[in-house]
């Protein structure tokens, strides 16, 4: 498996390839190759900023001579008019890296902002429930999107299919029940010498009791009501971690958290997020002024 760094390098290379193709002819036709300038990353919307390190990688992978100065770090609350970073170097390079850098940072910051909103609301409600992401991510951008969730104060559920066993409804049905699914998972880990956490999704109290009997690290309550969630948490009684999932939204999450679950997972953090508005402007541009 490729490292996170190599995966991000492949993503950047692919993104440049699809955007630039055989050349940025707009830039090449009007900007001299030796022209040097400076651009600044301007925030235009309140939120949580995320993506400083990947932005540096985008600039340096395209043109190692670009000089990046950061003024605001990941996780900071930003507002319109804030300057996150300044980049000096060849104007052709500044123009050709602009869109890819913005696409990544806008999405990461949007995810971090939404995650922060969800997690802070759970804290303000007096609960200890943590926000989790899911695998409902943009293909190729998973590592960046999950990093954004952490920057926003949430937690990663699992990176992919390789770092945790999650027995969902289809696995259970194909196996013939919760008992078979969990016992096979444990036997597999033993045979393969793998120390993987095992989570089991349950759809009713019968499956919940089976999962508790077999034993696992976490139980996911799928499409339970808040009332049934409270009852399920009481039945588990701390014997394993608990998670609520299935159509839970920002508007409906508080009763689930107050039911006592350890985690609530939200696909919306990565599949329905709106990017944070920002722009990359030539230094001195009057558009840097926020009125």
Catalytic residues: 99, 136, 168, 201, 222
**Which residues, other chains included, contact 128 with Cβ-Cβ below 8 Å and sequence gap of 6+?**
262
First to last CA, the chain: 49
**Which residue is associated with the tokens 């193709």?**
21
**Which residues, other chains included, contact 191 with Cβ-Cβ below 8 Å and sequence gap of 6+?**
none
What phi-psi label fits residue 246: left (phi over 0), alpha (psi between -120 and 50 degrees) or beta? left
Nearest Cα neighbor of 43 from 112, 102, 116 is 102
CA distance 63 to 97: 9
Task: State how beta strands 67-70 and 83-90 pair.
Answer: antiparallel
**Which residues, other chains included, contact 155 with Cβ-Cβ below 8 Å and sequence gap of 6+?**
130, 131, 132, 133, 149, 263
Whether the CB-CB separation of 113 and 276 falls below 8 Å is answered with: yes
Whether the CB-CB separation of 97 and 41 falls below 8 Å is answered with: no
Q: Taking the mean position of all CA atoms in its chain, how far away is CA 208? A: 29
């Amino acid at each position: 498996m490729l490292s996170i760094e190599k995966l991000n390098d492949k993503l950047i290379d692919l993104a440049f390839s699809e955007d630039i193709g055989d050349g940025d002819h707009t830039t090449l036709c009007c900007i001299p190759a030796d022209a040097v300038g400076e651009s600044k990353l301007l925030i235009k919307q309140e939120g949580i900023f995320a993506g400083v390190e990947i932005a540096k990688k985008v600039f340096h992978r395209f043109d190692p001579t670009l000089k990046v100065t950061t003024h605001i770090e990941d996780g900071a609350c930003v507002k319109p008019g804030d300057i996150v970073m300044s980049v000096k170097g060849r104007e052709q390079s500044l123009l050709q890296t602009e869109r890819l850098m913005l696409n990544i940072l806008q999405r990461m910051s949007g995810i971090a902002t939404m995650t922060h909103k969800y997690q802070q609301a759970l804290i303000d409600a007096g609960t200890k429930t943590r926000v989790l992401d899911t695998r409902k991510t943009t293909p190729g951008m998973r590592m960046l999107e999950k990093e954004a969730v952490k920057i926003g104060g949430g937690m990663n559920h699992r990176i992919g299919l390789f770092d945790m066993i999650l027995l969902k409804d289809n696995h259970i049905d194909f196996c013939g029940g919760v008992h078979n699914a969990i016992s096979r998972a444990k036997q597999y880990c033993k045979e393969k010498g793998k120390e993987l956490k095992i989570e089991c999704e349950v759809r009713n109290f019968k499956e919940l009791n089976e999962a508790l009997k077999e034993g696992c690290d976490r139980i996911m309550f799928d499409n339970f009501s808040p009332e049934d969630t409270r009852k399920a948490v009481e039945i588990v009684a701390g014997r394993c971690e608990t998670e609520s999932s299935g159509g839970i939204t920002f508007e409906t999450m508080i009763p689930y958290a107050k039911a006592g679950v350890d985690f609530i997972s939200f696909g919306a953090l990565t599949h329905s997020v709106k990017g944070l508005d920002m722009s990359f402007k030539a230094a001195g541009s009057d558009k840097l002024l926020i009125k």
